Structures are given as C-alpha cells and as structure tokens.
Structure 1
Amino acid sequence: MERSKDEFPKLWNLFRSVNTLSHLRDIIKNSIDDKGFVKDGASEKLASIRKNKKILESTLRRKLDKLLNQFRNIIQRPYFTKREGRYVLLVKSDRRKEIKGIVVSVSSSGATLYVEPEELIQLNDELKKLEVDEEREINRILENILLEIVKKKNTLLKVIDTFSYFDTLYARANYMIKEKCIVPSINHDGRIVLRRARHPLIPKDKVVPIDVEVGTDFQGLVLTGPNTGGKTVTLKTIGLLTLMAMASIPIPADVGTELSFFDAVLADIGDEQSIEQSLSTFSSHISKISQMMKFASDRALILLDEVGAGTDPIEGSALAISMVEYFLNKGAKLVVTTHLTPLKLLAFRDPRLRNAAVEFDSKTLLPTYRIIMGFAGSSQALEIARRCGIPSEVVEMARKNLDEEYMKVEKAMEEIYRKKVILDEELDKVRENQERLKRERKELFDKIEELKKGKLEKFVKEFHHIESEMKKLKKLIDSSIHEIRNTKDLERLRKMRRKLDRMEKETLRSIGERIDSILRRESDLKLGDVVRIKGTTTVGEILNINEGKLLIDVNGLRMSVPISNVEKLEKGRENAGTEKPEISVNVEKRVPTIDVRGLRVSEVEWKIRKFIDDLIVGGFNRGYIIHGVGSGKLARGIHEILRNEPKVKSFKLGDPEVGGSGVTVVEIK
C-alpha cells in the first residue's frame, strides 16, 4: 500500500477519501453470509423458525423411514424424495391403491408415482407453514437492511462513482495488456499519424495493420481503390481510434502513433436510405453532410465515405469537389473515400490534399488491405467484373467505351503504381536479407555464449563425476583381484567375476546416460512438439523448455521431466499411447458427470468403468452418474457394477437438489 501511495498519489488520495460505510457494512455482514443467504442469527424469530423447522424435518424423516419399511413391497425405490416442497414416496403405479395418500407428481415414464402418504400430510403442512414464516421473516430483515441503505444513499452513490472510476481504469489497463495497445502521443493541432494501427473490433489474427496520416503537411486525405479493398475500414479505424484517445482509452497501434483532440468528429459512413422518409442512398448522404457542414471548423474531423456516389457521375463529381473544398476552407481535417477520378485529380492539384490508395494485387485480383500514401488507386471495376464472370467480350467493349483522356490518366496512375510495387518488392527483399543476417548473427553469438557460460561447465562437472565413478570401479577391481589371488574357491571366483562384469556394465551405462544427456541439445526439441516418456505410454505436448527440463501437457495435467527421459514422436504417432479422458464437468459444482439415461445395463458397464478410470486420471475424487428414476432396473445394474469395482470407495443416490434418486454419486478411493 505504501508503494501505491508513492507511485500514484492522486489515486491514493481519491481512495482515502472514500467513506467505508462501516455501520452499513456491519449490518449486512451480521445478517447475510458469504453466499448471499440470510443468517440464522439475523433475528431471534428467524433462529426459532429454523430450529423448529429442523426438528420437524427430523420427525418427518423418521416417519418416512418407517413408511419405507412398511411399504417396501409397493415402492419403486427404497428412498424418499421431495416434490413441490413436500416429502413423498416413489410408489409403483400398479400398486397405487395399496397406500393411502395424495399423488403429487408422476415420472416421465409413468411407471413411478410420487405419493404423499396421509400420515405425512399434517407434518408436511406444518413444514410448509414454517417455510412461509421463514420467508416472511427473511423479507422483513431484508427490508430493514434496505431502509438502512436508503438512509446512506448519497454517500453510497459517491462510493459507487469512485469505484466505477477505479473500475474503468482497470478495464482500460486490462484492455491495453490484452490487445497490446499503446497510449498515443496527443496534440491539439489536428495531426493524425497512425503506425500499424488496427481496427479495435476486428480480431488480431485477421486484421491487417495500416499506416496512414492526415493533418501533417496536408489537410485532407483522398482514399481510393477497389471495392472491398479496405477503404471504409480505414475510415472507421481513424474515427474510432481518435474517439478512443479522446476518451483516454489505449489504442491498438504501434509506438509513434499520434492523435489529436477535436471538438467534433463527424462521419457519413454506410447506406442510410429510408423508405419511411422517402430518402434514397444519395439523398440520405446529402442530408447528413448538410448537417455536418453546420459544425465544420478547424477543430473538426470530417470522415466521408463514397462522397458524391449514388447519382450521375459528372454531377456527383462536381458536388463532391465543392463539398471537399467547403470543408477545407473551414479548416477541418478531412478523410474521404471515392471512386471518382475528378476527385483524385483534385488531390494532385490542391496542396491541401493528398492521395492514398488501398493496395490491389493485380496477379490475384485481390486486395492486400495495405495503405499506400501519395498514390491514387484504380477502382479495378473491369478486372473485378471479369473475375466475377462477366464475358471477356463485354469487358473489352466496356474498355473501348471509356473516355480517351480518362484512359490516359488511369494508365499513368497504373504505371506509377507498377513501379512502386517493383520498388517495394526490392525493398522487402533487402529488409528480409537484413533480418535474416541479424537472426543468424544473433544465433551464432548465442551459441558461443551458451558454450562459454553453460555447456563447458556442465561437461567439466559431468566428466569429474565420471572420473570419480571410474576411480571407484578401479578400486573395486583392485580389491577383487587381490581377493582372487588369495582364494582357491572356484565358485567364489565365478561369483566375483560376475559381480565385476555387472558393476562394469552399470557404470558404463550410467556414464553413457550422462554423456547422452549432455550431448542432447535443447534445440532438438521445440514448443508444441509431442514426446513420449521413455518406458511408458504417456504422451504429452511440450509447453516449456528450461535448463534441461521439459514442462509437458498430458491430457490437461502438467508434468516436469528431464529431456533425457523423453523421446520425440514423429507426425502421425502423436496419439499413440494415452487417451484423453471423456469427462463432462458440471460447471456449477465442478463435478464430473456422465449421462446414461436411455441405455441398457449391458450397454453402460464399459462406460461406467471408463468413467471411473477417467475420474482417476483427471484427479477427481467424486462423480455423478445420471440414470433417471424409471423402473429402477438401470440404477440397480449400475450399483451392482460399482459394488464390484475395487477403485470405488462408496456410492449413494443424490440429494434432492442434485437430482435425487435419478442420480448416483460415486466416491473414488
């Protein structure tokens, strides 16, 4: 705590200012247990009700035991249970008339009736009354606690606000760690520089990081390229990351990213056409942009998707240019996406604008989702049409129908882009070679350091041990030779000879294993390799390699073993050996469970025995077997199997809250 006080003084002072509400806490603590239930000692009346309830339940159970013995020939099972809050017996449906009482419920098969014997009706009624009294007293206690909370409402709300603030801090820190985010540099000049930025809602393994900027030495960005190339995602990424930074939320990007605070972030993205309001796609865009123009200023960020689309291309281009110039004249920072060539040309002419393109692979006719600053992208409409199945003659006719001036512009942009691609490929090769040389150089130095620091010392230590073993063997041989010279007992000589041979073999084997352990390099194995422990069928996957030892995962269990004690399995042999236990775990109780309802006794035996084996392998000491009630034949068969199973410590039918007589609880030795 003292460390927190020194490192985070503002948070510490805020934490210290929180009212602990000790009086309210004591009231709740004295009345409510850790599981949220009202304690017996919350009031004298509640304690008395629960005491009488226990006495009555004890009386009921004694009565039930007598009834079970009395009606043992007509009951389905020699146990009682609860139905609708009343204690009942499980009676065979065809023997109903032999017992007086009320049928409370019927099993799904109809073979079992849940009957409340008339001897229990009064006791069950008394128990029900006590339960009602208990509920009323609990409600009274909770109402009193609620009144105390209401009295402290304002203080409590202040505490909630403070801890909500702490909670948001924790959430932001947790998100930063989980998503590998950064806190960007912040400015107030409208400068946005994204480095390997990721859309926060696209999974990390699918998103393509982007590098893009606006507001540096130019005011607006015109983003072009084919459909599905990533233009809209880029627009959303810029907007979302800006808003996240303004909300003090770390952003998924690399160091070097810079964002600005704006008075307004205004976006027109997507198709907002409305039948009810008689708005077409074009009209909906224009309506929204007209509202955005009211708030445009040098403190605004404007994001426009497919500006000028949805109408005549000539008129749409003219309108798009005028709207872009309007926002630029207002001083706003601007990012627009478009397919319109006049807007691309405007970005070449106007120094306030910069072109950027989403990259398109001309070989595969697929987008790469990378952003290329300074280039205008082609929409690739004709190539995409060809890929989508439009006949070649139609595509060629379309190409001939294009305006000659338009074709010149497109070809010029394509040529510039082609040269850029070639240059990028060469640069990638250079960078790749540089990285490879760096890796190889590092690996070489690491190996040298490893030999210097660790391996040589290990060799010296092990060979000292080997030398000691050899000296012991030599001493034993000398002693044996002396003894042999002084004896004439041939049988004794033979025994001594065999002993020497055995000692020699054991010593050489020990030396061999040590040398093998030294020579076995950790680099022969890597994370994810599947290995088998020598002399066993145990197979596991390598989780960690550290100082000659492996941490392996064997069906969810983690084991640490020396490298010399394992052998690597080739692909195709990974599953040889152990089987993964087929255990279903009850999430609430964390108890393994198997459901065999609907099966015959002959069909469940191997399942039950395998379930017991899986419990042992999984480290569980208890499990649930769900068999249902029915006629009881399946449960009796299962109990007979468990009775003859030496690994089973005990078994019994479940309590009412876990299924009663429809479940058997088995305990493992």
Structure 2
Amino acid sequence: MNKRIFHVLEYNKIIERLNSQASSSLGKEKTIAIKPSTNLAEVVKWQEETDEAANVLRLKGNVPLGGIFDIKPSIKRTIIGGILNANECLDIASTIYGGKQIKSFIEGMDEPELPILRGLVEQIVPLNELERQIKSCIDDNGHVMDGASDKLRSIRTKIRTNESRVRDKLDSYTRTKTKMLSDAIVTIRNDRYVLPVKQEYRGAIGGIVHDQSSSGATLFIEPQAVVDLNNQLQEARVQEKNEIERILKELSMKIAEDQSYLYQNVEALGTVDFMFARAKLGQSMRASMPKMNDKGIIKMKQARHPLITDDEVVPNDVELGESFTSIVITGPNTGGKTVTLKMVGLCTLMAQSGLQIPALDGCEMAVFSNVYADIGDEQSIEQSLSTFSSHMTNIVNILDNVDHETLVLFDELGAGTDPQEGAALAMAILDDVVSRGARIIATTHYPELKAYGYNRDGVINASVEFDVQTLKPTYRLLIGVPGRSNAFEISRRLGLNEFIIETAKSHIGTDSKSVENMIASLEESRRGAESDYEQAEVILEQAQQLKQEIEQQWDQFEQKREELYKKAEEKAERAVEKAREEAELIVTELRNMKNEASLKEHEWIEARKLLDEAQPKLTKNKPGKTNRNDENKEIQPGDEVKLLTLDQKGTVIEKISNKEYQVQVGIMKVKVKRKDLQFVKREEPLIEKPMAMVKGSTYHVKTELDLRGERFEDALHRLEKYVDDAILAGYPSVSIIHGKGTGALRKGVQEFAKKHRHIKDFRAGSMNEGGSGVTVLEFK
C-alpha cells in the first residue's frame, strides 16, 4: 500500500483511535505499526483474532490488562550485566502479575470457544518465584524495603539512631541560642544537618559553613559538636546505598536468568492487548466482522463512515464486484458523494488491517493488492500546477500501476477543465480502468456520464438523494439511479419567475431532456418500489403474527387432546385394576377351597401369570400420530403385522419379494403387498441364561428383588408375584432389598413372610448381604 492513500482516506485517524484503546505500551507499540495486509490468509487470521476478543468483551464487558509494561529494554540491560533500579524491577514484577491475571481470566472462561486466545495465554509462564523475590525486596512505591536483607535492616537502624542523635543535639541549639538563629529550625545542606545562623553570630556558633542565603544575612553552619555524628550518618548512608545496589544487582541477575520466559510473556501480552484494542475500537463503532475474499467483492449493509459521529452519519448499502465492477455516482455538491467514496476506501483499509467495519452483520470485504484514490483539491503551489494538472498527474500515476487486484476511487473525475473535454476524458479513463478489471467508484458532475452505465457492461449508475422540498441532501446512496439536476425545482422553490424557468428549459437540448425524463421515471419507480416494499413488510409481519397465533392455538389443542387421552387411560387402568382385584379374590377363594390332590401350586401360579398377561395394554400412539416411516420398516418372517385391508392381525411366514409377503391369518395363508401391511411387533430372541427347570417349564427369575423407591402397595404386589415365581423356579431362598428408611417397607415384607404358607422362615441380611436393608426369605 502507498502511504499517500493513508493520508487521503484519513486512515491515520483510525490508527490514533485504535492506539487510545490499547491498555499498555506493548499494545500501543503494535497499534502504531499496524498496516493493511494484501495476504488473504493473514487478513482472515487477524479478523478471527479481533472477533474472538470482541466475543469476550460482549460476554464479560472488560478484561484485566492493567499493570503491564514494556520491559524489553530492562531485560536487555540485565543480559549485558546492567543493574536495574527499583522501579524497573517493580515493573517486571507487575508485568508478571498482569500476565497471570489475563491467563487465569481466559482459561476460566467456559464460553465461547477461544482457540487463539487460549493458545496465546498458554505461552505465558507464571514466574511466581521471581515475582515473590522482587515484591519481598521492593514495595509498591519503588522503595527497597528494610526486610530486603538483614544487613540493610541493620544499616537503616543505625541511620535512624544517628539522625535522632544529630537532631537532639541541634534541637538543644534551637532552644538555647534562639537569638543567634535566623529561624529556630534544623535544616539540611549537602546531605548534612545544619542551623540557619545570623551572619554576626558566625563566630559564636563555630563549625563548618555549608551555604548562605541570597542576601548573605544567614549562614547555614554545621556546629562542630555534630560534625562527627554527621560523618557517621553519611558513612551509614553510603553503606545503605552499597547494600541497595547489591540487592538490585542480585535481582537483576535473577531477571536475566528468566529472560527467555519474560520475552515470551511480553510478546504474548502485547498480542493479547493488541487484539482487545481492535475489538474495543469495533465495539465503540458498533462494527461487525467482515467475511473476507480475494475476488474483489464488497457487500456492506447500512455501512457508516467510521469518522463521522452517529448523530450525523447516514448509513448506506454498498455493493460492488458481482453484478457490476464499477459505480459512477452523479449528483450536486455537498450531497455526500465524496463521503461515500472515502467510506468504501477507509473500510477496505480497516478490513485488510484486521479491524471490524461499521456495518451490519453479514458484510463482505475484498483484499486488494492496492487502493488508489484521487480525491479533493490537491493543487501544488510549489510545482505551479493548476487543479486539473494536479489531478491529472495523480491519475497518470494511478493508470501506470492499476490492475485487476486494485480498488480505484476517483472524485470529480475530469473536473477543472472544459466540460466537454473533461467529460470525454473521464469516460476514456473509466473505459481504460474498467478494461483492466479493477474495482472502481467514481463521482462526477458531468451530465454526459449519467448515461455511461447504460452503455457499458459491468458499470452501474448511482446518485445521492436530494430533497427538493427542504432543499437539503439526504445523503442516501441510490444504486442504479443516476443523479438528477434539481436546478429548476430549487429555483422554483426559491421563488424564481416561472417564465424564466420555462425559458431556461427551452435552451436545454433534446438529449438532456430525455435523460432527465428517464431519471425522473427511475426515481418515481424507485419510490413506488419502496412503498410496495413497506406494504409487503407490514403484510409479512401480520402473516407472521397470525402464524404464531395459529401455532399457539394448535399447541393448546394438542395439549388438551393429550390431557383427554391421559384421563381416559387412567380411567381404563383403574377399571382394569378393579377387575384384577376382583379376579384375585376369586382365585384366593378357589385356592382355599382347592383339593391338594387335584390342583398343584404351580398351576395356580401359572393361572395368575396368565391373568397378568391378559391385562390390556393401552396404546401410546394417539389417532393422527401414526408412524409415517412404517412403510420403510423392514419386515421379517415371524413378525406380527396388521392387514390394513382386512383390519386383521397375522404373522409373516415368508418374504416373497421386497413388495410382497405371505402372511398367516387364522387358518388362512394370503399374499399381501407391503403397503397394505403395518408392523406390530417382533418376538425378541431369548438370551440363554442359567435357569431352573421345574416340571417342564422354564423360568428366568433372579435370586433377589429390589423394592427400594416403590410405593408400599405396589411393593407388596410385586413381592407376592415374585415369591410365586421364585417358588416355581425351585429356589431355596431369596433376598428382598427394601432399604433401611423408615422401616415401614421392611415391616410389610416381614408381615407378608409370616402369613405366606410356603415361606419357612425369614431373617435380616448379614453384613455382607446388606444388613438390615435386606430380608432373606427361606422356602419350605
């Protein structure tokens, strides 16, 4: 990219705003160096980085990026043996802590997926030991603490003692020799404690003169009595300085040892800050991530110029590169043509820099090898060039470099010279650039170019709307409609005589009138289309609302139907249960009356099982909810099916073909087509398990029954049936698992065992059997 385009499109202002969003000098350094890339893969990667950071900001609002510094110069100094000062060491500790904060923040997020950010924070090494050592020696104000070493603590204790002794000695002078002093205070000169003595009492005090006032009336004297004490104090301060230097040297050496990790942390933190700076800029512009391509396609919905405030900017839809490769915008001055031109160019540079653009979601931008622009009055006084010459010099340079991978922006193409010659030049220039396959947006005043798009493939006219009623531009871009001259309408609105207006119209050529009439017709068609669109929007909204109401009513109907089916099933189940209870009473009475010689116990058990199996099964498929895929279900010999034509059930004997089967219905065998069969059920093959054989019958019964969680009545019913099956299977004993709980279920099981004639004894389970939560039944 040429640097001139950055100035013309005000790209540098975007960089300034981006720079203000960075949280650290590391991020600011990267924002200043940002440049548009011409590599599609690189641009896509940048956009994905920005989008990840934007998702984090959307979910969390902010990120902990404080306390991070550019410590690279400090690290470099430690490597070559330099000694860092306390503040530089403190910046390194702060940066280590800041890295741990952002690492913990990103790794603690569950949503959304953050592969790029997680990969970056994985590179951050938490140097806890180095941070602890620095923080244990230096406080938050950059002061080396007494606890940094035992020697430093001892030296500072000595300093405080000496200072106290010097002050006490000098305070005695301020109390006893007040008349000799200019002020009764103790002050410091050349790092030594002194007294402000009047000039005339210089000999009375005696000692070393360190300074005097500007008037010479006051001398700052160190009395002889405190010279030795001050010497001791100075010596202690030198020792303190040496010890601090030793401590900082030791810390600097430890920093140098971890220099590779520190550089790695700094690079990762700078990239993370740079990503969030781009995301924050996009958030402030209400921007979205563009889909990038290398086909020269631009699609922006409700795009806004990034540097115009929201209360002033007018959003516009812009498309370029698919149906047409060039747009020629015509219309009056101050209508917004140049703003549109700059918006497209600036958004292109932003997108190629990994920045989101101020448009609705779903926008698409192209990666160009170069963006050229000829915008504004670039008259050069030094070169003594006219406006036209200046523009033409720039255009010549553009034509020397343009190709199919470039975006070219022409503002007022051909302006500044004779209108006829300028219009002819403009069309010739456009023809040349279009033939090279470049993407072009051009603005012009020339009426000759209004029909240009109708005579060229890949070129379309556009204009900026002007409201004749208010005499103001609306700044709306109208693709497909050339700009219309509003001079007569404006003049009429301002009160110009109608006769003069009509006379002016008579001077216009037939071609110009035809063009103006065509434009007027297009505008009328556009307004009609917009009105129809608005009506269609209203009808669509009403239809959607009606659809929602119908769906809601249908759901209510389905719910009501389900409730009715459920009530019917419950009623049927109660009737079946009542019949079962009555049958049980009859069976019980018959058992009491049975002849032991004629009826065996297992026959009664089998009779009860037949009773259970006779209980009707209520269907779960409601009318209207048949399985539409039943016809596709594979039917095999042995399957139970329903003949839809006869409304009878039968069993499949043989598969004749994919569409025909032989079915046994009662004593008849019939051939039936697949579409006339409905699958009912399939007998599952028995899985071989260890089993007990009793009198020729096979029973699969476990040696334990789990009643936990059952209602009391249901549990006893299951227990009774299970005991019958276990007796039939010939088990000597079984375990009943009832849990501990309240003990009600255990008591019920034991009461049942006492009354059952075939239970010899019962006991609580042993420790390895489940303890009191299990009752073991032993049969006779």
* Pair 1:380–1:35, CA change in 2 (3 A): farther
SS in 1 for 2:318: strand
- 1:205 alignment partner in structure 2: 311
Q: Deviations over 1:131-179 (max 9, x none)?
A: 6775676566556655655565555433322222211222233333333
* Pair 1:348–1:84, CA change in 2 (3 A): farther
**Contact 1:194–1:253 under 8 Å retained in 2:** yes
CA RMSD between the two structures: 5.2
- 1:556 alignment partner in structure 2: none
- 1:523 alignment partner in structure 2: none
Match of 2:287 among 168, 181, 187: 181
**Contact 1:5–1:12 under 8 Å retained in 2:** no
The Cα of 1:379 is off from its aligned counterpart by 6.7
The Cα of 1:220 is off from its aligned counterpart by 0.7
* Pair 1:37–1:325, CA change in 2 (3 A): farther
- 1:36 alignment partner in structure 2: 142
- The number of residues matched between the two structures is 432
* Pair 1:338–1:9, CA change in 2 (3 A): same
Identity over aligned pairs, percent: 39
Q: CA–CA distance in 2 between the matches of 1:314 and 1:151? A: 75
SS in 1 for 2:442: strand
Residue identity matched to 1:412: N
SS in 2 for 1:347: helix
Match of 1:257 among 363, 388, 391: 363
Q: Deviations over 1:524-580 (max 9, x none)?
A: xxxxxxxxxxxxxxxxxxxxxxxxxxxxxxxxxxxxxxxxxxxxxxxxxxxxxxxxx
Q: CA–CA distance in 1 between the matches of 2:276 and 2:284? A: 12
Q: CA–CA distance in 2 between the matches of 1:226 and 1:104? A: 78
Q: Does 1:310 align with 2:430?
A: no
* Pair 1:265–1:194, CA change in 2 (3 A): same
Q: CA–CA distance in 2 between the matches of 1:385 and 1:102? A: 89
- 2:301 alignment partner in structure 1: 195
Q: Does 1:412 align with 2:517?
A: yes
Deviation larger for 212-221 or 238-247: 238-247
Deviation larger for 373-382 or 73-82: 73-82
Q: CA–CA distance in 2 between the matches of 1:250 and 1:321? A: 35
Q: Does 1:369 align with 2:475?
A: yes
Match of 1:161 among 267, 279, 293: 267
**Contact 2:300–2:364 under 8 Å retained in 1:** yes
Match of 2:432 among 323, 326, 336: 326
Residue identity matched to 2:271: Y
* Pair 1:330–1:398, CA change in 2 (3 A): farther
Deviation larger for 214-223 or 47-56: 47-56
Q: CA–CA distance in 2 between the matches of 1:335 and 1:210? A: 15
Match of 1:344 among 442, 450, 457: 450
**Contact 1:264–1:295 under 8 Å retained in 2:** no
- 2:375 alignment partner in structure 1: 269
> What are the within-5 Å matches in structure 2 for residues 104-143 of structure 1?
118-119=222-223, 138=244, 142=248
**Contact 2:125–2:265 under 8 Å retained in 1:** yes
TM-score, L = length of structure 2 = 0.45
Q: CA–CA distance in 1 between the matches of 2:332 and 2:177? A: 83
Q: CA–CA distance in 2 between the matches of 1:384 and 1:103? A: 85
Match of 1:241 among 330, 344, 347: 347
Q: CA–CA distance in 1 between the matches of 2:516 and 2:345? A: 33
**Contact 2:328–2:460 under 8 Å retained in 1:** yes
SS in 1 for 2:478: strand
Unaligned runs of 5+ in 1: 442-669
- 1:540 alignment partner in structure 2: none
The Cα of 1:284 is off from its aligned counterpart by 3.5
**Contact 2:296–2:368 under 8 Å retained in 1:** yes
* Pair 1:148–1:411, CA change in 2 (3 A): same
**Contact 2:370–2:407 under 8 Å retained in 1:** yes
The Cα of 1:343 is off from its aligned counterpart by 2.5
**Contact 1:89–1:117 under 8 Å retained in 2:** yes
Q: CA–CA distance in 2 between the matches of 1:68 and 1:378? A: 94
Residue identity matched to 2:388: F
Residue identity matched to 2:482: A
Match of 1:354 among 431, 456, 460: 460
Q: CA–CA distance in 2 between the matches of 1:396 and 1:64? A: 102
Q: CA–CA distance in 1 between the matches of 2:122 and 2:298? A: 39
* Pair 1:98–1:17, CA change in 2 (3 A): same
**Contact 1:88–1:115 under 8 Å retained in 2:** no
- 2:757 alignment partner in structure 1: none
* Pair 1:328–1:421, CA change in 2 (3 A): closer
TM-score, L = length of structure 1 = 0.52
Q: CA–CA distance in 2 between the matches of 1:375 and 1:218? A: 14
- 1:231 alignment partner in structure 2: 337
**Contact 2:410–2:442 under 8 Å retained in 1:** yes
**Contact 1:218–1:351 under 8 Å retained in 2:** yes
* Pair 1:357–1:26, CA change in 2 (3 A): same
Q: CA–CA distance in 2 between the matches of 1:218 and 1:9? A: 38
**Contact 2:404–2:437 under 8 Å retained in 1:** yes
- 2:277 alignment partner in structure 1: 171
> What are the within-5 Å matches in structure 2 for residues 280-295 of structure 1?
280-295=386-401
* Pair 1:126–1:185, CA change in 2 (3 A): same
* Pair 1:80–1:176, CA change in 2 (3 A): farther
Q: CA–CA distance in 1 between the matches of 2:181 and 2:424? A: 90
The Cα of 1:369 is off from its aligned counterpart by 1.8
Residue identity matched to 2:396: S
**Contact 2:462–2:482 under 8 Å retained in 1:** yes
Deviation larger for 183-192 or 3-12: 3-12
